[in-house]
Each structure stands twice: as structure tokens, then as C-alpha cells.
Amino acid sequence: MSNKLTTLNLYLEPAETRRLASLCGPFDDNIKQLERRIGVEISYRDNHFQIVGAPRNCLTANNLLKDLYIETQPLKGSTPDLEPDKVHIAIQEAIALDMEAPRDESELYIKTKRGVIKPRNPNQSDYVRNIVNHDITFGIGPAGTGKTYLAVAAAVDALERQEVRRILLTRPAVEAGEKLGFLPGDLSQKVDPYLRPLYDALFEMMGFEKVERLIERNVIEVAPLAYMRGRTLNDAFIILDESQNTTVEQMKMFLTRIGFNSRAVITGDITQIDLPKHQKSGLRHSIEVLGEVDEISFNFFQAKDVVRHPVVARIVEAYEAFELKSQSSKGNKDSQYQLQETANHE
């Protein structure tokens, strides 16, 4: 088996004790995470790292260590701590790139004034490419796959390039019907908690003060879906979040609001529908109805695309496996019931 292993020696320069400590993490946690997920053994002394494993895995770990060391460069005189979530995302991105054939990602970088945002895996790359090239794009999949975040980033990029004149962010204000009357406060106070993820993404990319100014000038509008009725939206980038909780009528209403020189992104998770059981999800219905329309793209994310903590992906996979098992069990019971009914009639 030894002939299948290789050893790579890496010297990280400049050799700075604080940066090396940040790279390795407390109790070498970052190094252990690399070893566990890439499938290598890493030993080090000062700035000399030795990586042992399969040639391909060693090269992946070698490149990751270089990239992560760059992340430890001092900012304003202090060395930033390399957080576990940043290490996790870097590893996930490296594994995805290693599994896929090389692609030209140059057009997929989204530039905002707060920095460059890029897709973390092939499905995110396809999603961003479709947002750029289609009038209407659907992003469907579990939480943590970057659907909303990348859509907001693309909207900010389009606004700053002056490709659109305004950004409009909307979602069903509450589960199953947007019944806000029992909540205290005015409209803004009622709906803000439900729109907070959209605000957070904007603040991160543009800064709080700029977002507030643009909201005051109606360049950015964040509103519940009910307030889209009767409007035609030209020169706009429109995002509908949590679309699994729209009714069929609401989804049709939203899609027919889109005007000239506008782009729309619809995100949602069809496994998290909160509508009453007698109502069909507008997102599910749109998949059935609009699948053959050329100007519309559908992007489906999976548990492996989750870019949050590693346990989130495993949670999603566990729920999916349980639901499949439950459906299979229900199908077997229905078959047994039908056979019993047939026997009784005979």
C-alpha cells in the first residue's frame, strides 16, 4: 500500500508565529479537520508542513494550506483568527472542484463594494450563470445552499453596474396567508422579522448606511408579497424568497408583475411548505407548468451543496432518508390494504 502514498513538503512564507497559530487553530482543530475530510496526515514544525496521503489528496491539502494561510494576513495590524466555518467552506469548495472537470469561472465572480463573492460549488456556479443569462431563475433546495445570498449578491452587482435601476426583495410575510393583523406595530414592524434574512444579506454586501439611504430613496424596496399585486416592475431586479409558501395564485401574480429589462429570482425549499394541506404550493405548481419555457431556468440544490456547518448537510440528508423510508412504508401498507380489500370482496 505504501506505493500508493506520496509525501509533500510545504514551507509557508513568511514564517510568522501568530499567523501559523491561526492557520492550525486551537489544539490543531483546523489541521485535524483538513486531515479528516481530505484523507491525509499532516505534521508540521514551525512553517514546514509535511503532508502524507494519496497524490491527489495531498495536492488538494497542499493548495488549501496555502490559500488558508493567505486568509491569516494581518488586517489593521492584527492577525485574524481562522474560524472553523471558513475552513469548512474552503474544504467543501476544494472537494467540489476536485470532483468536477475544470471550468471557466471567470464570469461567475460577483463584485460588491464589500468584496468579491464567488460560487462555492458547481451547482452554485450554474445557478449564478443562469441568473445572468435568464429573465427568470428558480433556485430550489434546502437551507444553507446559498440560494438567497447569491441572488442578493447578483442583484447588488446588477444595481452597481447600472444594469437595473432598483432592487425589490419580497417574500410571503408569514406562513400560510400573510395574516399580520394580530402582530403589534405598523406595517414595517409587522413584516421586518420575516424579511430579516434579506436585510442581513444587503447590509453585509453594501453596508448599513448605504442600504438605509437606498431604501429611503426607494432604490431598494423590501416588502411582503401581498403588496406586489397590481404593479408592473420595469428596470428592476426582483427576488422572491421562501416561495414554497406562496399559493398558486400568488406565484402567478408575482411572475406576471415582471416588466421590461427586469430579472427575477425565485428561491424556496419544497420540503418546507407551511401552507394549509388543502392548498398547493405555488413553487411546486410552477415547476410543473413552466419547465419547458426557454427563458426560465430551474436550479435544484442538494444536501451536498450546503455551505454551513457540516452537520447541517447531514441533518438534511437524514431527513431526506427518513421521508423516503416513510413513503416506502406507507406504500407497502397501502398495497397490503388493497390486497386485503380484494380478498374480502372475493
pLDDT at 79: 74
pLDDT at 43: 93
Give the model's confidence band at 237: pLDDT under 50 very low, under 70 low, under 90 confident, else very high. very high
Query: How many other CB atoms are there within 10 angstroms of residue 323's CB atom?
Result: 11
Please give the Cα distance from 234 to 261 (Å, whole number): 6
Task: For the domain made up of 2-99, give the CATH fold.
Answer: Ribosomal Protein S8; Chain: A, domain 1 (3.30.1370)
Percent above pLDDT 70 for the chain: 79
Q: Cis ω on the peptide bond leading into residue 310 (within 30° of 0)? A: no
pLDDT at 180: 46
130 with 106: CB under 8 angstroms?
A: no
142 φ/ψ angles, rounded to the nearest 5 degrees: -70, 165
Residues near 308 by beta carbon (within 8 Å), at least 6 away in sequence: 85, 143, 144
CA dihedral (303, 307, 313, 319) positive or negative = negative
Q: Do domains 2-99 and 106-308 have the same CATH topology?
A: no
Read off the pLDDT of each residue in 137-157 and give the average, rounded to a whole number.
91
25 with 84: CB under 8 angstroms?
A: yes
Give the model's confidence band at 314: pLDDT under 50 very low, under 70 low, under 90 confident, else very high. confident
Three-state SS string over 171-197 comes to: ECCCCCCCCCCCCCCCHHHHHHHHHHH
Give the model's confidence band at 137: pLDDT under 50 very low, under 70 low, under 90 confident, else very high. very high
Please give the Cα distance from 205 to 207 (Å, whole number): 6
Percent above pLDDT 90 for the chain: 35
Mean pLDDT (the chain) is 81
Q: Which candidate, 129, 117, 128, 148, places its Cα nearest to that of 267?
A: 148
pLDDT at 109: 65
Q: Which of 179-183, 269-273, 280-284, 304-308 has the lowest mean pLDDT?
A: 179-183
Q: Which of 28-42, 52-66, 186-200 has the lowest mean pLDDT?
A: 186-200
pLDDT at 246: 92
Q: CATH code for 106-308?
A: 3.40.50.300
Cα 41 to its chain centre, rounded Å, is: 31
Give the model's confidence band at 249: pLDDT under 50 very low, under 70 low, under 90 confident, else very high. very high
Residues near 235 by beta carbon (within 8 Å), at least 6 away in sequence: 164, 165, 166, 259, 260, 261, 262
Please give the Cα distance from 205 to 182 (Å, whole number): 33
In the DSSP assignment, the letter for residue 79 is P
Residues near 65 by beta carbon (within 8 Å), at least 6 away in sequence: 10, 12, 23, 34, 42, 49, 51
pLDDT (tens digit per residue) in 193-234: 667 778 888 998 888 899 999 999 999 998 888 888 888 888
pLDDT at 56 over 90: no
| pTM of full prediction above 0.95 | no
Top mean-pLDDT range of 77-81, 120-124, 171-175 = 120-124
Read off the pLDDT of each residue in 247-255 and give the average, rounded to a whole number.
93
30 with 68: CB under 8 angstroms?
A: yes
**Of residues 333 and 20, more confidently modeled:** 20
Q: How many residues does the chain have?
A: 346
pLDDT at 264: 96
Give the model's confidence band at 187: pLDDT under 50 very low, under 70 low, under 90 confident, else very high. low
Alpha helices, DSSP H, located in 84-229: 84-99, 122-133, 147-160, 187-206, 208-216
Report residue 35 as a C-alpha cell: 486531515
Please give the Cα distance from 265 to 255 (Å, whole number): 10
337 with 330: CB under 8 angstroms?
A: no
Give the model's confidence band at 103: pLDDT under 50 very low, under 70 low, under 90 confident, else very high. very low
30 with 84: CB under 8 angstroms?
A: yes
Specify the pairing of strand 110-112 against strand 136-140: unpaired
Give the model's confidence band at 282: pLDDT under 50 very low, under 70 low, under 90 confident, else very high. very high
Read off the pLDDT of each residue in 255-275 and give the average, rounded to a whole number.
90
Domain residue limits, the chain: 2-99, 106-308
269 with 175: CB under 8 angstroms?
A: no
Give the model's confidence band at 177: pLDDT under 50 very low, under 70 low, under 90 confident, else very high. very low
pLDDT at 104 over 50: no
